[in-house]
Amino acid sequence: MEKRRSASRPEAVWKEKDLVSGQEEDAMVAIFRTSGCSWAKKGGCTMCGYSSASLSEVTTEDLMSQIDEVMRKYGGEKFVKIYTSGSFLDDNEIPPEVRERIFSEFSECSRILFESRPEYVTRESLSQVPKTVTLALGLESSDPDVLSKSVRKGFTPEDSRRAGECAKDAGLCVRTYLLLKPLFMTESDAIEDVLRSIAFADTFSDEISVNPVNVQRGTYLEHLWRRGSYRPPWIWSLTEVITKAAPVTKARIMSSPSGGGSQRGVHNCGACDSKVLDAVHEFSITQDTGCMDVHCECETRWRRYLESERMLGTAADIDRGIRDELMLAGR
């Protein structure tokens, strides 16, 4: 049954662990329901299903009620992450008085994180935020073609760089999100793309979070995935990115995959998924690539997959194509 959405209640609030000054600490995540991402209203990004969390009629009073509920659930966590399924700095989503109240409620927190598209990041908008803020930027890729054609992001990598530098000048931390394997990319192209993007983001980021694509409902990506024209990345591709980038990157590299181990998310053979995802989590905390020394027979299959994709020049789900052919042949 579909969850009933209420304008005066947040989309979700939960607790997890994250880093504060290099130490793992309790964190609270609050997803506010807003009137929605300005870019999603123009069609949005190919992989984004966040618009389902928005309601056009959300008012300032509704947002204040959402804060009341979030505060009832707040247990004094040192780190608070505030998401809006859009841009926290967009006045149409979060009016200035709502932002002000959020900052005042969490004035004792060691760290507050929120996300914004770069067009809302200006010297003026950042002058209103406390120095405990980490600005999260969804750069996704440093390749302008990938950003415009695969992700349909509606801004350029240079826009993100400008926003990141603006945040650094304001004395804030920057967490940059990158997408592993957007649409139309082979697995090996996707690995190379993230490695280049990490180098690009390293100049203005304190943390770089690699997000393997997960297939969200109601998206164009889901449509292609259902047809077998897309396979979410292998976890081996994520470990490859991490082990190659970590020794040459100043920023902290991390990954906390949504839907990891499922068919819609980053996955391997099924038998080793949780073991390898645990290693990724461990690395994200410790930054020690030694904990990535995990193996499974399916690594060979992954390498063959990379080669076959390169030879065939396709980003379609090859494994699934072969399975379908065998079924049709009655084998």
Binding mask 96-135 for ligand SF4 (x = CB under 6 A): ---------------------x------------------
The least distance separating ligand SF4 from the CB of residue 84, rounded to whole angstroms, comes to: 8
Residue 269 as a binder of Zn ion (CB under 5 A): the answer is yes
CA 141 centroid distance within chain: 12
The least distance separating ligand SF4 from the CB of residue 64, rounded to whole angstroms, comes to: 23
CA 186 centroid distance within chain: 20
Residue 63 as a binder of Zn ion (CB under 5 A): the answer is no
Residue 48 as a binder of ligand SF4 (CB under 6 A): the answer is yes
State which amino acid sits at residue 233. P
Total site size for ligand SF4, rule CB under 6 A: 11
Residue 272 as a binder of Zn ion (CB under 5 A): the answer is yes
The least distance separating ligand SF4 from the CB of residue 26, rounded to whole angstroms, comes to: 26
Task: Report long-range pairs for 87-91 (Cβ below 8 Å, ≥24 apart).
Answer: 87/37, 87/38, 87/115, 87/116, 87/117, 87/120, 88/114, 88/115, 88/116, 89/114, 89/116, 89/120, 89/121, 89/125, 90/37, 90/38, 90/116, 90/117, 90/120
Angle at 299 between CA 297 and CA 301, to 5 degrees: 90
Q: Which residues contact 83 (CB under 8 A, 6 or more apart)?
A: 29, 30, 31, 32, 114, 115
For residues 242 and 253, the answer to whether their CB atoms sit within 8 Å is yes
8-16, 59-67, 181-189, 291-299 -> range binding Zn ion (CB under 5 A) = 291-299
Residue 298 as a binder of Zn ion (CB under 5 A): the answer is yes
296 binds, among ligand SF4, Zn ion, none (CB under 5 to 8 A by kind): Zn ion
State which amino acid sits at residue 61. E
13 binds, among ligand SF4, Zn ion, none (CB under 5 to 8 A by kind): none
Residue 50 as a binder of ligand SF4 (CB under 6 A): the answer is yes
Residue 121 as a binder of Zn ion (CB under 5 A): the answer is no
Residue 235 as a binder of Zn ion (CB under 5 A): the answer is no
238 binds, among ligand SF4, Zn ion, none (CB under 5 to 8 A by kind): none
Residue 86 as a binder of ligand SF4 (CB under 6 A): the answer is yes
Q: Report the candidate in 268, 245, 270, 263 with the shortest Cα–Cα distance to residue 255.
A: 245
Which class for 84: exposed (0-12), middle (13-18), buried (19 or more C-beta within 10 A)? Answer: buried
For Zn ion, the closer CB: 194 or 298 = 298
If DSSP codes are grouped into helix, strand and coil, which group holds residue 221? helix
Q: Which residues contact 247 (CB under 8 A, 6 or more apart)?
A: 289
Tokens of 33: 């329901």
The least distance separating Zn ion from the CB of residue 239, rounded to whole angstroms, comes to: 12
Residue 138 as a binder of ligand SF4 (CB under 6 A): the answer is yes
Interacting residues toward Zn ion by CB under 5 A: 268-269, 272, 296, 298
Interacting residues toward ligand SF4 by CB under 6 A: 37, 39-40, 44-45, 48, 50, 85-86, 117, 138
